[in-house]
Structure 1
Amino acid sequence: MELLRMVGQSLLLLCLTGSLAILPAFSRDKNNTTSGSAAEQRRRCPLRCVCTSETTVDCSGVDLSTFPRNLSADTQHLALQNNRLEDIPVEYLSRLTKLRTLSLHNNRILSQGLPDKAFTSLQQLEYLYLANNKLTVTPRQLPNTLSIADFAGNHLTEIFALTFGHKPKLRSVYLHNNNLTNAGLPKTMFSGSDMVNILILSNNNLTRVPEILPSQLIQLHLQNNRISKIPKDVFSHLEHLRELYLQNNRLSNAGIHSQTFSKMKGLQYLDLSNNNLTKVPEGLPSNIVVLQLGRNRITSISRHSLNRIRNLEYLLLQHNRITAGRVHKEAFGELRKLHTLHIFNNPLGKIPAVLPRRLSSLMLLHNAILKIGADDFASAYHLTDLNLSHNRLRSARLHRLAFRKLRRLERLDLSANRLSLLPSGLPPSLLALRAQGNQISQLPTDALLHLSSLKELHLHHNLLTIGKIAPGVWRNVPNLKLLDLGHNDLSYVPPDLPESLEYIYLQNNRITTITSDSFISTPNIKVIALRSNRLTSAGVRKGSFGGLRYLQVLDLTSNPEYINVFLHSTTQGTAASNRTTGRQG
């Protein structure tokens, strides 16, 4: 989970900023002392800029169209992002010999406006941010002190050998969202820059993986290119690489050698989704924790295709062409750490045989599953989350013992199937049950038997009538907080609802009457949805909602008549909201 959290944070920064670079704080260095008086600092600070010290100048987002002239030669951190700059004069920049951070992202800088000589004298520069400009080529040579270089979101077609080469301190290079092809990347692009650990080349026009990559890479992003082939040894020296992103390319199994990934002993996250794979690639290293293979053309899982990956925890196979008959019964036999398996949007006709024993989350929605046998989940007794929605399940083909061993199951989704009854033998551990969008027409007395922990029950869009809800059925769910019975055929509010209930949804039924006893059993109710029924003023008895002191939302909209409802204020809250069609009293 820590790996997924780290990856998620990186992707979030990518989405929000167009760049993964993290700007150093523009604050005074504790070891620096200000030379001159505060008045002298203000005099030398460019108009509309903020100079917190002699070394730090912030001119970001002040609509500058020209580079500021009167900058102190002692400036170390210069922020010029979010302006309208088109060129950087050599004579102004070159005199800032102590510059460590230069932020120029989100301007309009052209390559001809960024002369190669502009950086010659900046021999202390560590952080350079030029993302989201209009550069077509990079500067030919950057200072060898550079640590972070961000050129994302430009129009780059060419990079020179000394742009990033011979930079022993270089750690992070961001080149995503450009127009780079393999012809625009020199073979010696990172010669002498062996310590680069983050390289982002996503969203370009690469047709193959760059030939010589820095040996200390930890993250390599190549997604959203046109890569169709990965040579045998291109990754062989990347023993430290943990995250490799190759999704949204044109990779087929023929384009991936059986030893392409085999020497990547540190690889933990591999994303090959949205390619043209027809089977799981061979030779995947054993330390992979997350394997993304969704949106390919995979038709089968062989006996040995995954079992080598002993540390696998997340296996994502959604949107493929996998059938249950082509999943070998021992395909998951050695995956003792696998806890999340996604095989949704495939043509599975039944549950795959012999599921991993440690599995806690199984997503099988949007398949063609017709039945569930007594032993289909027998090996998956650690399951806590099971999604079987949007299949073809019928009650007659759902074995009464199908869920008997799932004693840790907390969430079960059976929505959008063809069930006429809720399954029997559901585990007492269940917290949320979704069965909406079926053909359920009755709730017998034992329909919710032993579900004393259930907190959410979703039964909307079924065929329920009041006469088919057995008396006492709600006694089996004493901790239920949310009940959704919308879009059924109820003629009045079901009686004897559980006292624990806080949210009840009864919209789109044919309820005509609300009596003073309709909600007498639910004193803790917060939300009542009764919109789109057949209620009139005459059908809503006075005081129907009077004792509900926690009521926050009462929705009576889209009934035949406007209904005035008097709600009683209490010291603990007022039962009214902007969705209430009545008024307070």
Structure 2
Amino acid sequence: MSGPSSIIICLMLSMWTVLVPASSHPQHSQCKLTQRAALCNNSNLTSVPEGLPRTTEELQLHHNLIRTLHDNSLRYPSLTTLSLACNHVELLHANAFQYCKFLTSLNLANNHLYMSYPETSNALKTLPRIKILDLSENTLDEEMAAVLLENLTSLEYLNLSGNLLRRLDETSFRDLRRVKELDLQRNLLFEIDNAFDATPGLQRLNLAFNYLPCLTDFHMTQLVVLNASHNFIEWFISRQDVNVTFQIETLDLSDNKLLFFPFLPNASRLRNLYLSHNTVSFYEHLADDAAFPNLTATITFYNLRRNNTILTATLWDDSLHGDVSSLEILDLRGNQLQYFPRGFIRQMPSLSRLRMCSNCLERLNLTSEQFSGSLCELDVSNNRLKEIAADDVTLRALGNLTDLNVSLNDLDCLSSGLLFNLPSLRSADFSYNNIGICLPEEVEAGAGVAWNATASLRRLFLKGCHLERLPRSAFSGLSLTHLELSDNPGLRGQQSIKSLSATLHHLGLGNTHVGDLDFAAFPNLKSLNISRNSIARLPASVASLDLKQLDLRDNKLSSIPSAQADKLASKLHTVFLTGNPFNCCQTEWFRTFTTTKTVHMVGQSDIECTDLYQTRSIRDYPSFFCHEETGESIFWYILLFVPVCISLVGILMIVFLTVKPKVIHKSIKKKYFKPTSY
């Protein structure tokens, strides 16, 4: 072998020895190393990268293409956190974690573990310190889940949401003695039979978005948070023979089919009770109704499997609601409540927030209900209230009330001292009632309410209250930051609003036929609503404000002057412009707003412009149809000019053919009728 050839072979062999190891292992150049974490997400990896530091403690492999975790895939003895979420994992070999004895957190969400779950179960059993396990969205049924969870006695958090679990029993979680939090939402659960008796340490349980018809034997005294919202629960009944204080603090039964107020534990630490969007009502008034002489008064609940009576309840006794002495938040929005039972509110001395909107209340007597002085939010909007009664002593006791919402009712008047005796009131919403504004001397005569009664008020909503006149001193002495007067068409006396010029941040004057108000008097205004006011020209004072939000919908604006548009675009964050007859050839303002990245035009695709007889989306209008100097469309002029030109050409041809037909005949004959060559 010649010298040069041997040298070339040696060089090739040396290069081979260098390149082969590099090409035989997956590259991890896609991974970002930070301290002791390797972030390899969205890297199209088909296997766990090798060559990472042996001291790696956290390995993230979200959104890759890994299907199998082999026995030697993980050679990182310091690993404590591993995430394989959103891959295509079907199988974990039995010794996949043989080098990961310190692994405490494993995320396998959104994979295909249902395909080889027995083998995967053997791999999970080799994790003696696992505390956090996420198996959500793996198409697992209850039998598969039970196999995967065998011998995982160290687990403290388990996520099985988004699977196909239908029924749970005492064998489902029998090895999870230390589990503290369990997420079972978005499954197909319709039955739970003593499934949590083997989990004495369970504190947080999520059963939301399932198909549970009832919870009638609640005896989990150690549970702190239970979310059973968005099911089909008609009854919630706690076991009444338990003498231990339940540790429950938050109970969420919203968006179910509850007919009755839940039968809560006799002794508990319940602070937050969410019952919105059910069909809860009280029925005590039916017990004495002669119209229902044969009405059943009691109902008995049985454990059908063991045929033992668990509870006999008097249906029409509204006092069956358990211990609510520590309740702070009660959410009863969207039910069918017509009244509060006697002493119902009185048993909630710690109540701070009562949300009762969208019910059927016709009367509210704050005195007889004896609301606690800790109440800071009262929302009884969208009911049928005709009266809110309270004496001065009761109102003074509500010294912590900061938010009052009585909008969307049938109120004609309020107690004369309602606002005078609420020293902490900051937000009051009386919208869509028939409550007027009056002078102090008129209050004494019972003619209305003086809104300047409480100096603490900051947000006042009077939308749709049929207001016709604002007294000049209506808001004097107030420091309002938010005033909403929209939907009071024909409102007069806007000059009274100027007393708030130093403090007002939001002003709502939509659908009030406002005309000549000088907005320059409000230097601190950040949000302005002047929609539905037939405004044909944007007031010049608007552009001088430091507005962040401007609502100009449903007016008669044909354009916005460029100077105003430039000023507004430099300040605005949100602008509403739909429902105006803009001129398609005067849209420089539109280009100003669209090119300013900080301005969001709500419903931009619905903003339309008019070109003579045609209306179209302003952003799709071809600008070359417009005359730059006059700002008018030349499209229709073109359409008119073309037929005229065609007509003139036709007439000239007819005249020419009529006057000189012989000349044309000779010309044709001379050109085409030539003698042949033969």
- Give the TM-score, by structure 2 length: 0.63
> Structure 1 residue 278 and structure 2 residue 224: aligned?
no
| AA partner of residue 444 (structure 1) | C
Deviation at residue 197 of structure 1 after TM alignment: 0.8
Instruction: Report the counterpart of residue 199 of structure 1 in structure 2.
Output: 158
Checking the alignment, whether the CA contact within 8 Å between 1:428 and 1:450 is kept in structure 2 is no
Instruction: Report the counterpart of residue 530 of structure 1 in structure 2.
Output: 530
- The equivalent position to 2:389 in structure 1, one of 393, 399, 408, is 399
> Structure 1 residue 148 and structure 2 residue 105: aligned?
yes
Instruction: Report the counterpart of residue 472 of structure 1 in structure 2.
Output: 473
Instruction: Report the counterpart of residue 269 of structure 1 in structure 2.
Output: 225
Instruction: Report the counterpart of residue 314 of structure 1 in structure 2.
Output: 272
Q: Which has the larger radius of gyration?
A: 2
Tell me the SS of whatever aligns to 1:504.
strand
Deviation at residue 222 of structure 1 after TM alignment: 1.0
Tell me the alpha carbon deviations over residues 280-335 of structure 1, each in whole angstroms, 9 at most, x when there is no partner: 23239610111111122211136xx2243421110111111111336855456732
Q: What is the CA–CA distance in structure 1 between the aligned matches of 2:553 and 2:143, rounded to whole Å?
A: 64
Tell me the alpha carbon deviations over residues 493-521 of structure 1, each in whole angstroms, 9 at most, x when there is no partner: 5233333333322122112333x6x876x
Q: What is the CA–CA distance in structure 1 between the aligned matches of 2:563 and 2:414, rounded to whole Å?
A: 38
Tell me the SS of whatever aligns to 1:496.
helix
Tell me the alpha carbon deviations over residues 52-94 of structure 1, each in whole angstroms, 9 at most, x when there is no partner: xxxxx662389xxxxxxxxxxxx98654321212356xxx859
Tell me the SS of whatever aligns to 1:362.
strand
Q: What is the CA–CA distance in structure 1 between the aligned matches of 2:56 and 2:525, rounded to whole Å?
A: 63
Q: What is the CA–CA distance in structure 2 between the aligned matches of 1:99 and 1:483, rounded to whole Å?
A: 57
Instruction: Report the counterpart of residue 226 of structure 1 in structure 2.
Output: 188
Structure 1 pair 200–525 and aligned structure 2 pair: CA distance change class (3 A): closer
Tell me the SS of whatever aligns to 1:365.
coil
Structure 1 pair 511–189 and aligned structure 2 pair: CA distance change class (3 A): closer
| RMSD (CA atoms) | 4.2
- The equivalent position to 2:425 in structure 1, one of 422, 425, 430, is 430
Q: What is the CA–CA distance in structure 2 between the aligned matches of 1:482 and 1:123, rounded to whole Å?
A: 60
Structure 1 pair 214–351 and aligned structure 2 pair: CA distance change class (3 A): same
Deviation at residue 390 of structure 1 after TM alignment: 1.6
Deviation at residue 244 of structure 1 after TM alignment: 0.9
Q: What is the CA–CA distance in structure 1 between the aligned matches of 2:95 and 2:341, rounded to whole Å?
A: 57
| AA partner of residue 507 (structure 1) | G
| AA partner of residue 336 (structure 1) | S
Q: What is the CA–CA distance in structure 1 between the aligned matches of 2:429 and 2:186, rounded to whole Å?
A: 36
Deviation at residue 490 of structure 1 after TM alignment: 3.2
Tell me the SS of whatever aligns to 1:381.
coil
- The equivalent position to 2:66 in structure 1, one of 95, 101, 109, is 109
Deviation at residue 103 of structure 1 after TM alignment: 3.0
Q: Which runs of 5+ in 2 are unaligned?
A: 1-18, 285-315, 444-448, 578-588, 590-678
Q: What pairs with 1:476-491 in structure 2 (closer than 5 Å)?
A: 478-491=478-491
Structure 1 pair 413–237 and aligned structure 2 pair: CA distance change class (3 A): same
| AA partner of residue 275 (structure 1) | N
Q: What is the CA–CA distance in structure 1 between the aligned matches of 2:548 and 2:274, rounded to whole Å?
A: 41
Instruction: Report the counterpart of residue 357 of structure 2 in structure 1.
Output: 365
Structure 1 pair 251–524 and aligned structure 2 pair: CA distance change class (3 A): closer
| AA partner of residue 182 (structure 2) | L
Checking the alignment, whether the CA contact within 8 Å between 1:162 and 1:189 is kept in structure 2 is no
Tell me the SS of whatever aligns to 1:324.
coil
Deviation at residue 545 of structure 1 after TM alignment: 8.0
Deviation at residue 218 of structure 1 after TM alignment: 1.4
- The equivalent position to 1:59 in structure 2, one of 25, 30, 49, is 30
Structure 1 pair 480–77 and aligned structure 2 pair: CA distance change class (3 A): closer
Q: What pairs with 1:181-580 in structure 2 (closer than 5 Å)?
A: 181-187=141-147, 189-191=149-151, 193-209=152-168, 210-232=172-194, 234-253=195-214, 256=215, 258=217, 261-262=219-220, 264-265=221-222, 267-283=223-239, 286-301=246-261, 305-325=263-283, 329-331=318-320, 334-353=323-342, 354-355=344-345, 356-375=348-367, 377-394=369-386, 397-399=387-389, 401=391, 404=395, 405-421=397-413, 424=416, 425-426=418-419, 427-436=422-431, 438-440=432-434, 442-445=436-439, 446=443, 447=449, 448=451, 450-466=453-469, 469-475=470-476, 478-497=478-497, 498-499=499-500, 500-514=503-517, 525-535=525-535, 559-560=555-556, 577-578=571-572
Deviation at residue 143 of structure 1 after TM alignment: 2.2
Greater RCO, 1 or 2 (C-alpha within 8 Å, sep 6+): 1
Structure 1 pair 493–379 and aligned structure 2 pair: CA distance change class (3 A): closer
More helix per residue = 2
Which is further off, 343-352 or 274-283? Answer: 274-283
Which is further off, 291-300 or 526-535? Answer: 526-535
Q: What is the CA–CA distance in structure 2 between the aligned matches of 1:225 and 1:528, rounded to whole Å?
A: 46
Structure 1 pair 166–580 and aligned structure 2 pair: CA distance change class (3 A): closer
Tell me the alpha carbon deviations over residues 211-260 of structure 1, each in whole angstroms, 9 at most, x when there is no partner: 4242111111111111222222x32342322211111222233xx562x6
Checking the alignment, whether the CA contact within 8 Å between 1:176 and 1:201 is kept in structure 2 is yes
Structure 1 pair 443–139 and aligned structure 2 pair: CA distance change class (3 A): farther
Q: What is the CA–CA distance in structure 2 between the aligned matches of 1:486 and 1:418, rounded to whole Å?
A: 18
Checking the alignment, whether the CA contact within 8 Å between 1:203 and 1:224 is kept in structure 2 is yes
Deviation at residue 133 of structure 1 after TM alignment: 0.8
Structure 1 pair 456–183 and aligned structure 2 pair: CA distance change class (3 A): same
Checking the alignment, whether the CA contact within 8 Å between 2:334 and 2:358 is kept in structure 1 is yes
Checking the alignment, whether the CA contact within 8 Å between 2:330 and 2:354 is kept in structure 1 is yes
Structure 1 pair 343–324 and aligned structure 2 pair: CA distance change class (3 A): same
Q: What is the CA–CA distance in structure 1 between the aligned matches of 2:237 and 2:475, rounded to whole Å?
A: 51
Tell me the SS of whatever aligns to 2:139.
coil
Tell me the SS of whatever aligns to 2:88.
coil
Structure 1 pair 399–168 and aligned structure 2 pair: CA distance change class (3 A): same
Q: What pairs with 1:49-128 in structure 2 (closer than 5 Å)?
A: 59-60=30-31, 78-87=38-47, 101-110=58-67, 113-115=68-70, 117-119=71-73, 125-128=79-82
Q: What pairs with 1:16-27 in structure 2 (closer than 5 Å)?
A: none
Structure 1 pair 76–409 and aligned structure 2 pair: CA distance change class (3 A): closer
Tell me the alpha carbon deviations over residues 2-50 of structure 1, each in whole angstroms, 9 at most, x when there is no partner: xxxxxxxxxxxxxxxxxxxxxxxxxxxxxxxxxxxxxxxxx99989x9x
| AA partner of residue 474 (structure 1) | F
Identity between Structure 1 and Structure 2 (%): 22
Q: What is the CA–CA distance in structure 1 between the aligned matches of 2:369 and 2:93, rounded to whole Å?
A: 60
Q: What is the CA–CA distance in structure 2 between the aligned matches of 1:245 and 1:508, rounded to whole Å?
A: 46
Checking the alignment, whether the CA contact within 8 Å between 1:60 and 1:82 is kept in structure 2 is no
Q: What is the CA–CA distance in structure 2 between the aligned matches of 1:553 and 1:200, rounded to whole Å?
A: 42
Tell me the SS of whatever aligns to 2:178.
coil
Q: What is the CA–CA distance in structure 1 between the aligned matches of 2:467 and 2:556, rounded to whole Å?
A: 22
Tell me the SS of whatever aligns to 1:280.
strand
Q: What is the CA–CA distance in structure 1 between the aligned matches of 2:524 and 2:173, rounded to whole Å?
A: 66
Q: What is the CA–CA distance in structure 2 between the aligned matches of 1:461 and 1:484, rounded to whole Å?
A: 10
Tell me the SS of whatever aligns to 1:277.
coil
